[in-house]
Amino acid sequence: MQIPVEGFMYPNEVELQWSVLIVLYPFLTGLVAGAFILASLERVFMVKAVKPTYRLALLTALAFLIVAPLPLQLHLGHPERSFEMYLTPHRSSAMAMFGFVYLWYLLAVLVVEIWLDYRRDIVVMSQCTTGWKRLVYRVLTLGSTNISERALHIDERVGWLVTVIGIPSAFLLHGYVGFIFGSIKANPWWSSPLMPVVFLFSAMVSGIATVMLLYMLMCLVRREPIDMDCVDTVAKYLFYTFIIDFSLEMLDLIHRIYEADESFRSLDFMVHTRLFLSQVVIQILLGTVLPILLIGLTQVVKLAEKLRKRIYVTAGCLTMIGIFAMRWNVVIGGQLFSKSFLGYTTYKMGIVAREGLLTAIVLTVLPLVILGVLVKLLPPWPEKKEEPLLVALAAHGAD
Amino acid sequence: MNMTRRQLLILLPAAAVAWKSILAGTPEASPNYNMTEHWWGMLVDITKCIGCGSCVRACQLENQVTDGYFRTWVERYHVSDYDIESPKVDSPDGGKNGFPPAAVSDGKNFFVPKMCNHCVDSPCTQVCPVGATFVSPDGVVLVDQKYCLGCRYCVQACPYGCRFVDPKKETAQKCTLCYHRITKGLTTACCENCPTGARQLADLKNPNDPIHEFLKTHSVQVLKPYMATRPKLFYNGLDGSVR
Amino acid sequence: MTPLFTVRVARSDNVTTLCDLEHGGLGPFSSHISTKQFTKTPQPRDTYGEGRNASSWQHNRPRLPEWVVANPAMKAFRDAGHLFRLASVFLVGGILFLALRGFLVPRSFGQYGHYRGSAIKETAALPISYAGHQVCEGCHADILEVKSKGVHKGVSCEACHGPLAKHADDPASIQPAKLDTAVLCVRCHEANLAKPKSFPQVVSAEHSGGAPCETCHQPHSPAIVAVAGASQ
């Protein structure tokens, strides 16, 4: 298969190294970091209005985090050697820290926080269910069924602490993904100290938008009224982070244009040709400016509830497309031009291939399936009725 | 005296040292080789390169390089005197089979052989997450084929485009400076087969190596010095338009 | 809604706690618990997990010295018991990892730096294809004699004859192929603007009129002696 090349590429550069799966990876981890930061709004920053999304945000983060390493794993030439990353991590490599940042975030932050938050429910379920479910819950209790008031109070305090630790961890998780790209001095499209910050804020934008959409979707499925106070608040935070994100991206762009270093002519040509649709049209206009204007409208003008909902859904979907396009433009765009600045290559995505479109779609849907299972196992909704059993258990637990 | 050519060969001291271990097929480097006594690099004299592609072919045969990928390749530059910053460059099949006649006759034309620069501060080894690529104690950037994950981060980090991932082996591949040859007293396959001596293997730790005299008397450059990778591939007669 | 099934939660004789999983309980988003029919205060089973067959909740606890029960710090310690369980799970995982790591890291790793030391030896042990001109000259002294006097003295044998380490290893095993000068000579000597001006180059189509190069030039010493002598 001949890959079309324009101008001159170093001969080994013609074939792209990082495929659509590596586009997916920062997209998925971004959702994790963003969803977690939304959850921490309620827990640490006492934004009570977003409470209905708290548990959903945590479960969303977990579901996406479980899937996040899969695209990396599938892309490796030797996936069976990936454990070497844990055995002999190279200190000077940004990528080597992945395994540890990932494990830390998954085990020390997300799992612990979810476990502490759900422990009461887990204990109750372990006694109210049968069969395999009972087994699962019993394992999850770790053999301790202490849900006395004091124990729960301790959980609450420890959970708060975990969230506090979790915020910088979430920043680390995604800022570090940006650093993987931003620290490659050989590639002027990536090499920028702003890269981790831009990645972080775009992660928050995508995570908040995801949770907002999922919350509205789940309310629809459960035929429950949407808590508009909650969604309005989430949208407000989405708006603020989006503005910061957009400012940073524009700062990066303006800086590049004004500095116009040796790579500029080459990159400028690329943005105006090969990346025009995905960068200018989809990422900037449709995926950033339009949703900011839409949500901005709800912030300035008092609109009817129905209209607001529609705007949120539209803006949320556009945001997701925009952030995905941003990841695409960074990862794929950074490989389309030659490091000699003399030519351009083409990315041909396979459809049914190990690193093809189909795999990417499966990996995008998979976290939603996992989220479905998690929601079933650990329902994030407050109980409709008061539970006498729980009350009684809690009362008894206390001395 | 009935002596086979092979026996005669063994009597030749210079060849014999290298040859014994090769014949035996032992998986060890020459026993006389001491890593700490060498610091390898290479000299490329652009004024001597004729673009014949011998180096590219030799490299491919010596190292079983998969077709379409290159551990070394040759570029042809055409620099117009009206716009020296925008050279026209081509490298058909890495220059393996030479170059067709140039279409334009104005300006400046020359060949530039390229390969791994065996940088002292190599960005490729810096980014390897597991330590599967490294600068050996004698200054050669190598890849551990049994340890490489195939994550391709090193390919991204090389400013010179010298690395690739072999589609069959799924590991990073690059110029080894014919490590299996230089440790046995031979020169690299590309240097061995360069008909004009445009490529010269250089041992910077050996005070008698002609490289020292050359570096003292010529204006020598490295590629992309602003990348601060401290390459050990020295170019004589390098034009400013080369990148 | 009819309960799908009913589960008895507490087993104490005088307590009947029923916990239904409603029909929707197995549906996607509504597996919340609803409890019904409390006849008496429910008694949790073995809440502290110490599993004695005591009938009452209070007796279910292990007996501890008075000072422990009275000490609020100790009570807090007991109520954080589940956290210690979690911590021990992590601890076991960590120890398991370290044990596995000690076992799995290759022996020679770190011998010279952050890499597998034996990788150097493995690279050095790869087979050779080009024997090198010194080896050729060891046997073919006659050719060396001719070559060393001509302009091709710097061109090594295998540059034209191809990789012949196998031949050097066992001369009988493989013989060098007969070379086609029509292909070989033009690789270097076909005129090209990018070649150094001092390098001898010809436009092959015009130069020989179709005659093979070796008609006039001997590859090992290509200068045409007779013609050169006549012209000077």
Q: Where are the domains of chain C?
A: 5-63, 64-126, 128-177, 179-232
Least confident window among A221-225, A266-270, B19-23, C83-87? B19-23
CB C135 within 8 A of CB B14: no
Spatial CB neighbours of B37, under 8 Å, sequence gap ≥ 6: B138, B205, B206
pLDDT for A167-183, tens place per residue?
A: 999 888 888 899 999 99
Is residue B1 domain-resident? no
Q: Give residue-wise pLDDT tens across range A295-305.
A: 999 999 999 99
Q: Is the pLDDT of residue A384 over 60?
A: no
Instruction: Spell out the residues 6+ positions from residue A177 whose beta carbon is closer than 8 angstroms to its own.
Output: A25, A26, A29, A30, A196, A199
Q: State the angle between helix axes of A228-259 and A264-272 in degrees (0 to 180), rounded to the nearest 10.
A: 130
The confidence score (pLDDT) of residue C1 equals: 39
Q: Cβ–Cβ of C42/A392 closer than 8 Å?
A: yes
Q: Does B59 touch chain A (CB under 8 A)?
A: no
Residue numbers in C near A115 (CB within 8 A): 86
Of B63, B211, B46, the C-alpha closest to B139 is B211
Give the model's pLDDT for residue B147. Answer: 96
Percent of chain A whose predicted confidence (pLDDT) is above 70: 95
A238 CA to chain C: closest CA distance, Å? 26
Interface of A with C in 163-182 (CB under 8 A): none
User: Nearest-CA distance from C90 to chain A in Å?
Assistant: 9
Look over chain C and give the mean of its residue pLDDT values, rounded to a whole number. 74
Q: Closest to C114 (Cβ–Cβ): which among B51, B111, B131? A: B131
Closest residue to A146, CB basis, from C21, C35, C48: C48
- pLDDT > 90? residue B14: no
Q: Which range (A213-217, A349-353, C27-31, C93-97) has the least confidence?
A: C27-31
Query: Residue B64 has what pLDDT?
Result: 96
Decide if B149 is inside a domain: no
Beta carbons of B92 and B189 less than 8 angstroms apart:
no
Q: What is the dihedral of CA B30, B36, B38, B39, to 10 degrees?
A: 130
Classified as helix, coil or strand, B133 is: strand
Provide the chain C residues 151-210 that lie in CB contact (below 8 A) with chain B. Answer: 152, 154-156, 158-159, 162-163, 165, 168-171, 187-188, 190-196, 199
pLDDT range class, residue C175, cuts 50, 70, 90? confident
Q: Report whether pLDDT(C37) > 70.
A: no
Asked whether the CA dihedral B164, B166, B169, B175 is positive or negative, the reply is negative
Q: Would B59 be classed as within a structural domain?
A: yes
Does the CB of B236 have a partner CB in chain A at under 8 Å? Answer: no
Whether the per-residue pLDDT at A260 is higher than 60: the answer is: yes
DSSP 3-state of C196 = coil
Distance from CA of B205 to the nearest CA of A (A): 27
Q: How confident is the model at residue C75 (pLDDT cuts 50, 70, 90)?
A: confident
Q: What is the predicted pLDDT for the residue at C208?
A: 83
Nearest CA in chain A to B228: A185
Domain that holds residue B91: 38-122+177-236
What pLDDT band is residue A395 in, cutting at 50, 70 and 90? low
Question: Domains (ranges, CATH) in chain A?
Answer: 20-254+352-397 (1.20.1630)
CATH code of the domain in which B183 resides: 3.30.70.20
Give tens-digit pLDDT for C129-144.
999 999 999 999 999 9
State the smallest CA–CA distance between residue A375 and chain C in angstroms. 7
Given this model, what pLDDT does residue B166 score?
96
Residue A266 confidence (pLDDT): 94
Q: What does the mean pLDDT of chain A come to?
A: 92
How many domains does one find in chain B? Answer: 1
Within 10 A of C63 (CB to CB), how many other CB atoms are there?
8
- The confidence score (pLDDT) of residue C210 equals 82
* Interface of chain A toward chain B, CB-CB under 8 angstroms: 8-13, 15, 17-18, 72, 75-78, 81-82, 84-85, 87-90, 92-96, 98, 180, 183-187, 335, 338-342
C41 touches chain A (CB under 8 A): yes
pLDDT > 60? residue C53: no
Is residue B98 a part of any domain in this protein?
yes
Summarize pLDDT for B133-183 with one digit per residue, the tens: 999 999 999 999 999 999 999 999 999 999 999 999 999 999 999 999 999
Q: B220-221 and B72-80 as β-strands: parallel, antiparallel, unpaired?
A: unpaired
CB contact under 8 Å between A11 and B161, yes or no, is yes
pLDDT band at residue C209 under the 50/70/90 scheme? confident
Contacts of B128 in chain A (CB under 8 A): 90, 93
The amino acid present at B137, given as its one-letter code, is: P
For an interface test with A, the pick among C8, C20, C29 (most A C-beta atoms closer than 10 Å) comes out as: C29
- Would the CB atoms of A88 and C105 count as touching at under 8 Å? yes
How far apart are the CA of B225 and the nearest CA of chain C, in angstroms? 25
Residue with tokens 């009725």, as numbered in its chain: A385
pLDDT of residue A98: 82
Structure tokens at A145: 């069924």
B22 vs chain C: nearest CA distance in angstroms?
7
Mean model confidence pLDDT for chain B:
89
For chain C, percent of residues with pLDDT exceeding 90: 47
Terminal-residue alpha carbon distance, chain B = 59
Tell whether the model's pLDDT for residue A383 goes beyond 80: no
How many Å separate Cα A317 from the centre of its chain? Answer: 14
Chain C residue whose CA is closest to B54: C159
Q: Cβ of C159 under 8 Å from any chain A Cβ? A: no
Residues from chain A contacting residue C29 (CB–CB below 8 Å): 218, 221-222, 375-376, 379, 381
Which residue in A78, A90, A94 is closest to B148 by CB distance? A78
No. of helices (H) and no. of strands (E), chain C = 11, 3
Distance CA C142, CA C154 (A): 16
Q: What is the pLDDT of residue C62?
A: 54
- Please state the rounded mean pLDDT for residues A384-391: 50
Q: Which residues in chain C are closer than 8 Å to A107, comparing Cβ atoms?
A: 90
**Taken in order C34, C40, C45, C46, is the CA torsion positive or negative?**
positive
Contact residues for A166 (Cβ-Cβ < 8 A; gap 6+)? A36, A40, A105, A109, A110, A113
What residue of B is the nearest CA neighbor of C202? B101
Query: Which candidate in A10, A21, A25, A265 is best for mutational testing of the B interface (most B CBs within 10 A)?
Result: A10
What does the pLDDT read at residue B7?
47
Give the whole-number percent of chain B exceeding pLDDT 90.
Answer: 81
pLDDT of residue B66 exceeding 80: yes
Return the higher-pLDDT residue of A247 and B105.
A247
Question: Does A158 contact chain C (CB < 8 Å)?
Answer: yes
DSSP conformation letters of C86-104? HHHHHHHHHHHHHHHHHHH
| Percent of chain A topping pLDDT 90 | 83
The CB-side HSE value for A92 (13 A sphere, CA atoms) comes to 18
In a domain, B29, yes or no: no
Least confident of A199-203, B19-23, B82-86: B19-23
Residue A389: the pLDDT is 53
Q: What is the pLDDT of residue C76?
A: 74
Interchain CB distance below 8 Å, B145 and C114: no
CA distance C183 to chain A (A): 25
pLDDT given at position C231 = 41
Residue C68 has what pLDDT? 64
- State mean pLDDT over A25-41: 92
The answer to whether the Cβ–Cβ distance between A85 and B165 falls below 8 Å is no
Which residue among B99, B144, B186 sits closest to C132, beta carbon to beta carbon?
Answer: B186
List of chain B residues whose C-beta atoms are within 8 Å of the C-beta of residue C107: none
Beta bridge partners of C8: C18
